[in-house]
Structure 1
Protein backbone atom coordinates (compact mmCIF):
# COMPACT_ATOMS: atom_id res chain seq x y z
CA UNK A 1 0.00 0.00 0.00
CA UNK A 2 1.28 3.43 -0.95
CA UNK A 3 0.66 6.71 0.87
CA UNK A 4 -2.06 8.46 -1.13
CA UNK A 5 -2.57 12.13 -1.95
CA UNK A 6 -5.69 12.11 0.25
CA UNK A 7 -3.76 10.67 3.20
CA UNK A 8 -1.12 13.40 2.87
CA UNK A 9 -3.90 16.00 2.78
CA UNK A 10 -5.72 14.44 5.76
CA UNK A 11 -2.44 14.23 7.70
CA UNK A 12 -1.72 17.93 7.41
CA UNK A 13 -5.31 18.87 8.23
CA UNK A 14 -5.25 16.61 11.30
CA UNK A 15 -1.95 18.16 12.42
CA UNK A 16 -3.99 21.31 13.11
CA UNK A 17 -6.06 19.34 15.63
CA UNK A 18 -2.93 17.77 17.12
CA UNK A 19 -1.27 21.11 17.72
CA UNK A 20 -4.42 22.64 19.19
CA UNK A 21 -4.57 19.76 21.66
CA UNK A 22 -0.84 19.85 22.46
CA UNK A 23 -0.31 23.63 22.45
CA UNK A 24 -0.01 23.98 26.22
CA UNK A 25 2.35 21.00 26.53
CA UNK A 26 4.67 22.34 23.82
CA UNK A 27 4.55 25.80 25.38
CA UNK A 28 5.52 24.33 28.74
CA UNK A 29 8.52 22.57 27.16
CA UNK A 30 9.57 25.74 25.38
CA UNK A 31 9.12 27.93 28.46
CA UNK A 32 11.78 25.84 30.21
CA UNK A 33 14.53 26.22 27.59
CA UNK A 34 13.25 28.65 24.95
CA UNK A 35 10.99 31.64 24.30
CA UNK A 36 7.83 29.92 25.50
CA UNK A 37 6.01 30.46 22.20
CA UNK A 38 6.56 27.17 20.36
CA UNK A 39 3.18 25.65 21.17
CA UNK A 40 1.34 28.82 20.24
CA UNK A 41 3.30 29.17 17.00
CA UNK A 42 2.74 25.57 15.88
CA UNK A 43 -0.97 25.81 16.65
CA UNK A 44 -1.32 29.13 14.85
CA UNK A 45 0.65 27.88 11.86
CA UNK A 46 -1.31 24.69 11.35
CA UNK A 47 -4.65 26.47 11.84
CA UNK A 48 -3.59 28.60 8.87
CA UNK A 49 -2.59 25.45 6.99
CA UNK A 50 -6.04 23.94 7.69
CA UNK A 51 -7.65 27.11 6.30
CA UNK A 52 -5.47 27.17 3.18
CA UNK A 53 -5.28 23.50 2.13
CA UNK A 54 -8.92 23.14 1.02
CA UNK A 55 -8.06 25.47 -1.87
CA UNK A 56 -5.58 22.87 -3.19
CA UNK A 57 -7.35 19.70 -2.02
CA UNK A 58 -7.56 18.36 -5.58
CA UNK A 59 -3.94 19.17 -6.47
CA UNK A 60 -0.94 16.85 -6.45
CA UNK A 61 1.14 15.97 -3.40
CA UNK A 62 3.89 18.45 -4.28
CA UNK A 63 1.39 21.33 -4.38
CA UNK A 64 -0.12 20.32 -1.03
CA UNK A 65 3.31 20.13 0.61
CA UNK A 66 4.53 23.40 -0.93
CA UNK A 67 1.33 25.19 0.10
CA UNK A 68 1.81 23.92 3.65
CA UNK A 69 5.40 25.17 3.69
CA UNK A 70 4.58 28.59 2.27
CA UNK A 71 1.71 29.00 4.76
CA UNK A 72 3.92 28.12 7.74
CA UNK A 73 6.66 30.38 6.44
CA UNK A 74 4.33 33.36 6.21
CA UNK A 75 2.23 32.85 9.35
CA UNK A 76 4.50 31.49 12.11
CA UNK A 77 6.90 33.55 14.16
CA UNK A 78 10.11 32.50 15.85
CA UNK A 79 12.26 29.73 14.39
CA UNK A 80 9.36 27.32 13.84
CA UNK A 81 7.90 29.02 10.77
CA UNK A 82 11.09 29.29 8.73
CA UNK A 83 12.32 25.80 9.69
CA UNK A 84 9.11 23.80 9.32
CA UNK A 85 8.16 25.93 6.31
CA UNK A 86 11.49 25.16 4.64
CA UNK A 87 11.04 21.46 5.45
CA UNK A 88 7.77 21.22 3.53
CA UNK A 89 8.86 23.43 0.63
CA UNK A 90 11.98 21.32 0.09
CA UNK A 91 10.08 18.07 0.67
CA UNK A 92 7.66 19.06 -2.08
CA UNK A 93 10.51 19.03 -4.60
CA UNK A 94 10.96 15.28 -4.10
CA UNK A 95 7.31 14.52 -4.88
CA UNK A 96 6.78 16.33 -8.19
CA UNK A 97 4.45 14.39 -10.54
CA UNK A 98 3.66 11.76 -7.88
CA UNK A 99 0.07 11.00 -6.89
CA UNK A 100 1.10 8.46 -4.23
CA UNK A 101 4.26 7.67 -2.28
CA UNK A 102 6.06 4.42 -1.56
CA UNK A 103 7.86 4.01 1.75
CA UNK A 104 11.09 4.83 -0.11
CA UNK A 105 9.45 8.00 -1.48
CA UNK A 106 8.38 9.01 2.03
CA UNK A 107 11.92 8.42 3.29
CA UNK A 108 13.23 10.60 0.46
CA UNK A 109 10.65 13.31 1.24
CA UNK A 110 11.80 13.48 4.86
CA UNK A 111 15.48 13.31 3.93
CA UNK A 112 15.19 16.18 1.45
CA UNK A 113 13.04 18.23 3.84
CA UNK A 114 15.56 17.74 6.64
CA UNK A 115 18.40 18.76 4.34
CA UNK A 116 16.47 21.99 3.78
CA UNK A 117 16.37 22.63 7.53
CA UNK A 118 20.09 21.90 7.84
CA UNK A 119 20.95 24.29 5.00
CA UNK A 120 18.93 27.00 6.71
CA UNK A 121 19.86 26.44 10.36
CA UNK A 122 23.25 24.67 10.03
CA UNK A 123 22.18 21.99 12.51
CA UNK A 124 24.52 19.12 13.22
CA UNK A 125 23.87 15.84 15.05
CA UNK A 126 23.50 16.27 18.83
CA UNK A 127 22.84 20.01 18.59
CA UNK A 128 19.47 19.34 20.35
CA UNK A 129 17.29 20.40 17.41
CA UNK A 130 14.34 18.95 15.54
CA UNK A 131 16.86 17.41 13.13
CA UNK A 132 17.89 15.02 15.89
CA UNK A 133 14.39 13.58 15.46
CA UNK A 134 13.99 13.95 11.69
CA UNK A 135 17.25 12.08 11.01
CA UNK A 136 16.25 8.88 12.88
CA UNK A 137 12.84 8.95 11.17
CA UNK A 138 14.49 9.20 7.77
CA UNK A 139 16.87 6.36 8.61
CA UNK A 140 14.08 4.13 9.95
CA UNK A 141 11.97 4.62 6.82
CA UNK A 142 14.96 3.99 4.56
CA UNK A 143 15.69 0.73 6.38
CA UNK A 144 12.00 -0.22 6.18
CA UNK A 145 11.61 0.70 2.50
CA UNK A 146 10.68 -2.88 1.58
CA UNK A 147 8.15 -3.18 4.42
CA UNK A 148 4.40 -2.47 4.21
CA UNK A 149 3.51 1.15 4.90
CA UNK A 150 1.93 0.50 8.31
CA UNK A 151 4.98 -1.39 9.56
CA UNK A 152 7.34 1.26 8.18
CA UNK A 153 5.47 4.10 9.88
CA UNK A 154 5.45 2.15 13.16
CA UNK A 155 9.25 1.95 12.90
CA UNK A 156 9.38 5.67 12.13
CA UNK A 157 7.31 6.53 15.22
CA UNK A 158 9.56 4.37 17.40
CA UNK A 159 12.62 6.12 15.96
CA UNK A 160 11.03 9.52 16.58
CA UNK A 161 10.33 8.65 20.22
CA UNK A 162 13.95 7.56 20.67
CA UNK A 163 15.07 10.74 18.93
CA UNK A 164 13.10 12.96 21.31
CA UNK A 165 14.38 10.99 24.28
CA UNK A 166 17.95 11.39 23.05
CA UNK A 167 17.59 15.20 23.04
CA UNK A 168 16.94 15.21 26.79
CA UNK A 169 20.60 14.60 27.63
CA UNK A 170 21.96 16.90 24.93
CA UNK A 171 23.27 20.39 25.57
CA UNK A 172 21.67 22.79 23.12
CA UNK A 173 24.01 24.34 20.57
CA UNK A 174 21.43 26.16 18.46
CA UNK A 175 18.69 28.67 19.13
CA UNK A 176 17.58 30.31 22.36
CA UNK A 177 18.18 27.11 24.34
CA UNK A 178 21.92 27.33 23.57
CA UNK A 179 22.11 30.44 25.79
CA UNK A 180 21.40 28.23 28.79
CA UNK A 181 24.52 26.12 28.31
CA UNK A 182 24.46 23.06 30.58
CA UNK A 183 21.08 24.12 32.02
CA UNK A 184 19.51 23.04 28.70
CA UNK A 185 20.37 19.43 29.60
CA UNK A 186 17.51 17.41 31.07
CA UNK A 187 14.72 18.70 28.81
CA UNK A 188 13.42 17.37 25.47
CA UNK A 189 13.70 19.64 22.44
CA UNK A 190 10.30 21.28 21.74
CA UNK A 191 10.79 21.28 17.97
CA UNK A 192 11.74 17.62 18.03
CA UNK A 193 8.67 16.90 20.13
CA UNK A 194 6.53 18.59 17.46
CA UNK A 195 8.12 16.33 14.85
CA UNK A 196 7.15 13.28 16.93
CA UNK A 197 3.57 14.56 17.19
CA UNK A 198 3.43 14.99 13.42
CA UNK A 199 4.67 11.47 12.73
CA UNK A 200 2.23 10.02 15.27
CA UNK A 201 -0.56 11.92 13.51
CA UNK A 202 0.54 10.45 10.16
CA UNK A 203 0.42 6.99 11.74
CA UNK A 204 -3.17 7.60 12.88
CA UNK A 205 -4.15 8.68 9.36
CA UNK A 206 -2.60 5.55 7.85
CA UNK A 207 -4.38 3.31 10.35
Structure 2
Protein backbone atom coordinates (compact mmCIF):
# COMPACT_ATOMS: atom_id res chain seq x y z
CA UNK A 1 0.00 0.00 0.00
CA UNK A 2 1.43 3.38 -1.02
CA UNK A 3 1.83 6.28 1.37
CA UNK A 4 -0.84 8.23 -0.55
CA UNK A 5 -3.32 5.39 -0.08
CA UNK A 6 -2.56 5.25 3.65
CA UNK A 7 -3.22 8.99 3.89
CA UNK A 8 -6.61 8.43 2.26
CA UNK A 9 -5.90 10.17 -1.06
CA UNK A 10 -6.59 7.13 -3.26
CA UNK A 11 -8.31 3.81 -2.94
CA UNK A 12 -6.33 0.60 -3.47
CA UNK A 13 -6.69 -0.93 -6.93
CA UNK A 14 -9.22 -3.72 -7.31
CA UNK A 15 -8.08 -7.24 -8.09
CA UNK A 16 -8.07 -8.19 -11.74
CA UNK A 17 -10.54 -11.07 -11.36
CA UNK A 18 -11.33 -12.43 -14.81
CA UNK A 19 -8.50 -13.74 -16.99
CA UNK A 20 -7.53 -10.94 -19.39
CA UNK A 21 -6.82 -13.17 -22.39
CA UNK A 22 -10.16 -14.97 -22.11
CA UNK A 23 -12.03 -11.71 -21.64
CA UNK A 24 -10.30 -10.11 -24.61
CA UNK A 25 -11.04 -13.17 -26.76
CA UNK A 26 -14.73 -12.79 -25.93
CA UNK A 27 -14.58 -9.08 -26.83
CA UNK A 28 -12.87 -9.93 -30.13
CA UNK A 29 -15.68 -12.39 -30.87
CA UNK A 30 -18.23 -9.57 -30.43
CA UNK A 31 -19.42 -10.35 -26.89
CA UNK A 32 -20.93 -7.04 -25.68
CA UNK A 33 -21.18 -8.30 -22.08
CA UNK A 34 -17.44 -9.01 -22.07
CA UNK A 35 -16.76 -5.52 -23.46
CA UNK A 36 -18.87 -3.96 -20.71
CA UNK A 37 -17.04 -6.00 -18.07
CA UNK A 38 -13.67 -5.05 -19.52
CA UNK A 39 -14.63 -1.38 -19.62
CA UNK A 40 -15.95 -1.40 -16.04
CA UNK A 41 -12.81 -3.13 -14.83
CA UNK A 42 -10.17 -1.06 -16.64
CA UNK A 43 -11.62 2.34 -17.53
CA UNK A 44 -11.50 3.81 -14.03
CA UNK A 45 -7.79 3.33 -13.52
CA UNK A 46 -6.98 4.45 -17.07
CA UNK A 47 -9.10 7.58 -16.57
CA UNK A 48 -7.50 8.39 -13.20
CA UNK A 49 -4.07 7.95 -14.74
CA UNK A 50 -4.90 10.23 -17.70
CA UNK A 51 -6.53 12.82 -15.45
CA UNK A 52 -3.64 12.86 -13.00
CA UNK A 53 -1.14 13.09 -15.80
CA UNK A 54 -2.86 15.82 -17.77
CA UNK A 55 -5.09 17.56 -15.24
CA UNK A 56 -7.89 18.01 -17.78
CA UNK A 57 -11.13 16.01 -17.54
CA UNK A 58 -12.10 16.32 -21.20
CA UNK A 59 -8.64 15.29 -22.39
CA UNK A 60 -8.64 12.35 -19.96
CA UNK A 61 -12.04 11.16 -21.20
CA UNK A 62 -10.89 11.46 -24.81
CA UNK A 63 -7.75 9.50 -24.00
CA UNK A 64 -9.74 6.68 -22.37
CA UNK A 65 -12.18 6.54 -25.27
CA UNK A 66 -9.35 6.42 -27.80
CA UNK A 67 -7.48 3.74 -25.83
CA UNK A 68 -10.53 1.45 -25.86
CA UNK A 69 -11.26 2.26 -29.51
CA UNK A 70 -7.70 1.29 -30.46
CA UNK A 71 -8.00 -1.91 -28.45
CA UNK A 72 -11.19 -2.82 -30.29
CA UNK A 73 -9.63 -1.98 -33.69
CA UNK A 74 -6.62 -4.20 -33.03
CA UNK A 75 -7.03 -6.52 -30.03
CA UNK A 76 -4.29 -8.79 -31.41
CA UNK A 77 -1.74 -6.04 -30.64
CA UNK A 78 -2.10 -6.68 -26.91
CA UNK A 79 0.58 -9.12 -25.79
CA UNK A 80 -0.12 -10.52 -22.28
CA UNK A 81 3.53 -11.46 -21.84
CA UNK A 82 4.54 -7.78 -21.96
CA UNK A 83 2.26 -6.61 -19.15
CA UNK A 84 -1.32 -6.28 -18.02
CA UNK A 85 -4.21 -5.12 -20.16
CA UNK A 86 -4.59 -2.12 -17.84
CA UNK A 87 -0.99 -1.12 -18.50
CA UNK A 88 -1.52 -1.53 -22.24
CA UNK A 89 -4.60 0.71 -22.15
CA UNK A 90 -2.79 3.27 -19.97
CA UNK A 91 0.05 3.34 -22.49
CA UNK A 92 -2.39 4.03 -25.32
CA UNK A 93 -4.07 6.77 -23.25
CA UNK A 94 -0.64 8.29 -22.60
CA UNK A 95 0.10 8.41 -26.33
CA UNK A 96 -3.31 9.98 -26.97
CA UNK A 97 -2.61 12.71 -24.39
CA UNK A 98 0.80 13.42 -25.89
CA UNK A 99 -0.80 13.62 -29.33
CA UNK A 100 -3.47 16.03 -28.08
CA UNK A 101 -0.84 18.29 -26.57
CA UNK A 102 1.34 18.14 -29.67
CA UNK A 103 -1.62 18.99 -31.89
CA UNK A 104 -2.69 21.87 -29.68
CA UNK A 105 0.94 23.01 -29.39
CA UNK A 106 0.51 23.20 -25.65
CA UNK A 107 3.63 23.41 -23.54
CA UNK A 108 4.18 20.48 -21.17
CA UNK A 109 7.01 21.28 -18.69
CA UNK A 110 9.74 18.70 -18.94
CA UNK A 111 12.11 20.17 -16.40
CA UNK A 112 12.06 21.79 -12.99
CA UNK A 113 12.59 25.31 -14.39
CA UNK A 114 8.95 25.66 -15.43
CA UNK A 115 7.73 24.49 -12.03
CA UNK A 116 8.99 27.61 -10.30
CA UNK A 117 6.61 29.76 -12.38
CA UNK A 118 3.48 27.96 -11.13
CA UNK A 119 1.02 29.54 -8.72
CA UNK A 120 1.81 29.23 -5.02
CA UNK A 121 0.22 26.36 -3.12
CA UNK A 122 -2.60 27.01 -0.65
CA UNK A 123 -1.56 27.65 2.98
CA UNK A 124 -0.32 24.84 5.20
CA UNK A 125 -2.54 25.21 8.27
CA UNK A 126 -2.38 22.24 10.62
CA UNK A 127 -6.18 21.83 10.56
CA UNK A 128 -6.77 21.39 6.84
CA UNK A 129 -9.81 19.23 6.27
CA UNK A 130 -9.74 16.30 3.85
CA UNK A 131 -10.90 18.28 0.84
CA UNK A 132 -8.32 21.00 1.37
CA UNK A 133 -5.57 18.40 1.82
CA UNK A 134 -6.71 16.66 -1.35
CA UNK A 135 -6.71 19.93 -3.33
CA UNK A 136 -3.31 20.85 -1.96
CA UNK A 137 -1.89 17.46 -2.93
CA UNK A 138 -3.19 17.72 -6.50
CA UNK A 139 -1.92 21.27 -6.81
CA UNK A 140 1.52 19.99 -5.81
CA UNK A 141 1.34 16.99 -8.18
CA UNK A 142 0.45 19.32 -11.09
CA UNK A 143 3.63 21.28 -10.36
CA UNK A 144 5.82 18.22 -10.92
CA UNK A 145 7.50 17.87 -14.29
CA UNK A 146 5.79 15.50 -16.74
CA UNK A 147 8.26 12.60 -16.20
CA UNK A 148 8.12 12.96 -12.42
CA UNK A 149 4.32 13.27 -12.36
CA UNK A 150 3.97 10.21 -14.58
CA UNK A 151 6.25 8.09 -12.35
CA UNK A 152 4.39 9.19 -9.21
CA UNK A 153 0.95 8.53 -10.72
CA UNK A 154 1.89 5.09 -12.02
CA UNK A 155 3.66 3.78 -8.92
CA UNK A 156 2.21 5.65 -5.93
CA UNK A 157 -1.33 6.36 -7.11
CA UNK A 158 -2.03 3.37 -9.32
CA UNK A 159 0.27 1.03 -7.39
CA UNK A 160 1.78 -0.50 -10.51
CA UNK A 161 5.04 -2.43 -10.33
CA UNK A 162 8.23 -0.64 -11.38
CA UNK A 163 8.50 -2.84 -14.47
CA UNK A 164 4.91 -2.21 -15.54
CA UNK A 165 5.19 1.55 -14.89
CA UNK A 166 8.47 1.69 -16.82
CA UNK A 167 6.85 -0.11 -19.77
CA UNK A 168 4.01 2.43 -19.85
CA UNK A 169 6.41 5.37 -19.62
CA UNK A 170 8.72 3.85 -22.22
CA UNK A 171 11.84 3.95 -20.01
CA UNK A 172 13.96 1.47 -18.09
CA UNK A 173 12.98 0.53 -14.53
CA UNK A 174 16.11 2.31 -13.25
CA UNK A 175 15.13 5.55 -14.98
CA UNK A 176 11.61 5.23 -13.61
CA UNK A 177 12.94 4.72 -10.07
CA UNK A 178 15.09 7.84 -10.40
CA UNK A 179 12.12 9.88 -11.62
CA UNK A 180 9.97 8.55 -8.81
CA UNK A 181 12.60 9.37 -6.19
CA UNK A 182 12.88 12.93 -7.50
CA UNK A 183 9.09 13.25 -7.69
CA UNK A 184 8.68 12.19 -4.07
CA UNK A 185 11.38 14.61 -2.96
CA UNK A 186 9.86 17.49 -4.93
CA UNK A 187 6.36 16.67 -3.70
CA UNK A 188 7.56 16.60 -0.09
CA UNK A 189 9.22 19.98 -0.63
CA UNK A 190 6.08 21.43 -2.18
CA UNK A 191 3.83 20.15 0.59
CA UNK A 192 6.20 21.39 3.31
CA UNK A 193 8.01 19.60 6.10
CA UNK A 194 4.80 19.06 8.11
CA UNK A 195 3.19 17.12 5.25
CA UNK A 196 6.06 14.77 4.39
CA UNK A 197 4.95 11.19 3.70
Range of TM-score over shorter length: 0.3 to 0.5
Compare CA radii of gyration and give the structure with the larger one.
2
TM-score by length of 1: 0.36
